[in-house]
Amino acid sequence: MRVTNFQLFSGTITANGDTKDGTAVGNRPIPTIFRKSGIFFIKATGVTGTDPTLDVDIITYDPITEAWYVIGSFTQIVADGQEAIYIPEVGEKIAIQYVKGGTSTPTFPIKVGAILRDN
C-alpha cells in the first residue's frame, strides 16, 4: 500500500472561494491518480472577527460530467481548533471550497492536509 501526504491549502481565508482553479492564495487542486481513500485534516489558529463561521468542504472532480462534487465536509469552524475526517473514495482531483460568515471582517488562518492511500 502506498501512502502520500498532501497539502491542499495553507493561508488566511478572508472571502468565499475554492482552490479548484489554482488561484486561491496560490493553492491548487491535487491530482489523486492511483489513490482511493484518505484522511483529511484541518487546523485553524488565530481566528478573528465577531461570530466567525467557516464551512470547508472537500471536493473532487469528475471528468465525465466535467464538474466538481462535495465528498466530505468538516464541522463548521467558529474558533481555533482542528479536526480529521475519513473519506473512503476520492476522484481524479481533490480541492477545497469554503464559505465564511460573521461580522467585523472575520479571518481564518487555516491549513488543510490529507494522507491518501491507494488501498
Q: Structural domains in the chain?
A: 3-117 (2.60.120.20)
- Once rounded to an integer, what is the mean pLDDT over residues 106-114? 93
d(CA 10, CA 49): 19
Question: pTM of this prediction?
Answer: 0.89
pLDDT digits (tens, 9 = 90+) for 74-109: 999 999 999 999 999 998 889 898 888 888 889 999
d(CA 35, CA 118): 4
Label residue 44 exposed, middle or buried (CB < 10 Å: 0-12, 13-18, 19+).
buried
d(CA 114, CA 119): 15
- Taking alpha carbons only, the member of 54, 69, 48, 46 closest to residue 17 is 54
